[in-house]
Amino acid sequence: MTIARSLTLATMLMLTACAPTEASGDATVLVALADDEILLAPPSVPDGRIVFDTENTSTALVHEIEVFSGAIDGVLPPVANSVADTAGLTLIDEVEDIVPGASATLTIDLTPGTYLVICNLPAHFEAGMWAYLTVTG
Ligand SMILES: [Cu+2]
């Protein structure tokens, strides 16, 4: 392969990698459910149909993913009876009972705003299982 051809291939790969995800309709958020945190990659996506590609990375605990609208970044809901009191939030969708090592996919249409992603099994929210997702317009 010539150098010019290698450069062309490299350029094409870069253009493909940089193509905006919203052009194809869906944005994907990789969600790692760990025992003491939830990691979202990326933590900000454009509005529209969003695929939460979720994996329970725990070796021992069952987890769930719940996505709430109406969240304010930096303002967590209070805890009552070992779970988050989500009375001021709106549950958009969830997947329960994701066993250790298992994956689950949640696809939701979201409008711009701040969303709170949590696992609300007893004591899990308090342990740190929450993350904010920013959806931009
Ligand atoms: Cu959990």
Answer yes or no: is 120 within a domain.
Answer: yes
Alpha carbon of 109 to ligand 1 centroid (Å) = 24
Answer yes or no: is 45 within a domain.
Answer: yes
Answer yes or no: is 8 within a domain.
Answer: no
CA quadruple 121, 123, 126, 129: dihedral positive or negative?
negative
Answer yes or no: is 56 within a domain.
Answer: yes
Q: How many domains does the chain have?
A: 1
Alpha carbon of 35 to ligand 1 centroid (Å) = 6
Dmax over CA atoms of the chain, in Å, equals 66
Beta carbons of 101 and 134 less than 8 angstroms apart: no
Answer yes or no: is 57 within a domain.
Answer: yes
Answer yes or no: is 68 within a domain.
Answer: yes
| Nearest in space to 96 (alpha carbons), one of 106, 109, 88 | 106
Q: Which domain does 63 fall in, by range?
A: 24-136
Domain of residue 55, CATH code? 2.60.40.420
Q: Is the pTM of this model over 0.75?
A: yes
Alpha carbon of 62 to ligand 1 centroid (Å) = 6
Alpha carbon of 49 to ligand 1 centroid (Å) = 25
Q: What is the pLDDT along the chain (137 residues), one digit of tens a residue?
A: 444 444 444 444 444 444 444 445 699 999 999 999 999 999 999 999 999 999 999 999 999 999 999 999 999 999 999 999 999 999 999 999 999 999 999 999 999 999 999 999 999 999 999 999 999 99
